[in-house]
Amino acid sequence: PGGMLCGPGRAFGVQRVGNSLFGNRTWHGTGVATTLAGKLNNRWSPGDGRIGGRAGVAGQIAQPMLYQYGLGSYVFEFGAGIQKAAADGASVINLSGGYPCRIADNLGIGFNICSPAGRAALCATATAILATASAAICATAGATAAIPFVGPIIAIPLFIACGVATAATVAASTACFATLLLGDPRDPMIAGVQFATERGVPIVVSAGNRLSSEVLPPVIRDLINFNEVRIEEWQVFPAMIEPCIVAGATSDNWPFDNQHFTGNRVNIWAPIRTAYYRPTPEDRITPSNEWGLETIGGTSAAAPYAAGTIAAMQAVNPSLNPRTPGLTAAQRRGIPARIRGILTNSAWTTAELAAMAPPDQVAAVNAGAPLRRHLINPLRAVRTAAAGIIPDFA
Q: How far apart are CA 108 and CA 225, in angstroms?
A: 10
pLDDT at 182: 61
Residue 335 has pLDDT above 50, yes or no: yes
Question: For residues 8 and 214, which has the higher predicted lDDT (pLDDT)?
Answer: 214
pLDDT at 78: 80
Name the H helices within 264-349: 299-316, 329-333, 335-345
Mean pLDDT of the chain: 80
Q: How far apart are CA 222 and CA 157, in angstroms?
A: 13
| 190: confidence class by pLDDT, cuts 50, 70, 90 | very high
Q: How far apart are CA 47 and CA 321, in angstroms?
A: 38
Q: Is 128 helix (H, G, I), strand (E, B) or coil?
A: helix
Q: How far apart are CA 97 and CA 31, in angstroms?
A: 13
Ranges 182-196, 207-221, 296-310: which has the least confidence: 207-221
- Predicted confidence (pLDDT) per residue in 30-46, tens digit: 899 999 998 887 777 77
Asked if 99 and 129 touch (Cβ cutoff 8 Å), the reply is no
Residue 269 has pLDDT above 90, yes or no: yes
* % of the chain with per-residue pLDDT over 90: 44
Question: For residues 30 and 20, which has the higher predicted lDDT (pLDDT)?
Answer: 30
pLDDT at 299: 93
Spatial CB neighbours of 288, under 8 Å, sequence gap ≥ 6:
44, 46, 47, 277
- Write the DSSP string, 263-281: STT--EEEE--EEEEE-SS
- How far, in Å, are 9, 28, 70, 189 from residue 14 at the CA level? 12, 10, 11, 25
Beta bridge partners of 174: none
Residue 138 has pLDDT above 60, yes or no: no
Greatest mean pLDDT among 63-67, 132-136, 141-145 lies in 63-67
Q: State the number of CA atoms in the 13 A half-sphere of 270 facing the CB.
A: 31
- Predicted confidence (pLDDT) per residue in 77-101, tens digit: 788 889 999 999 999 999 998 888 8
Spatial CB neighbours of 34, under 8 Å, sequence gap ≥ 6:
53, 54, 56, 274, 276, 277, 296
Say if pTM beats, i.e. exceeds, 0.85: no
| 153: confidence class by pLDDT, cuts 50, 70, 90 | low
| 342: confidence class by pLDDT, cuts 50, 70, 90 | very high
Asked if 204 and 85 touch (Cβ cutoff 8 Å), the reply is no
Mean pLDDT, residues 155-177 taken together: 47
Q: How far apart are CA 32 and CA 57, in angstroms?
A: 11
Residue 179 has pLDDT above 60, yes or no: no
pLDDT at 1: 42
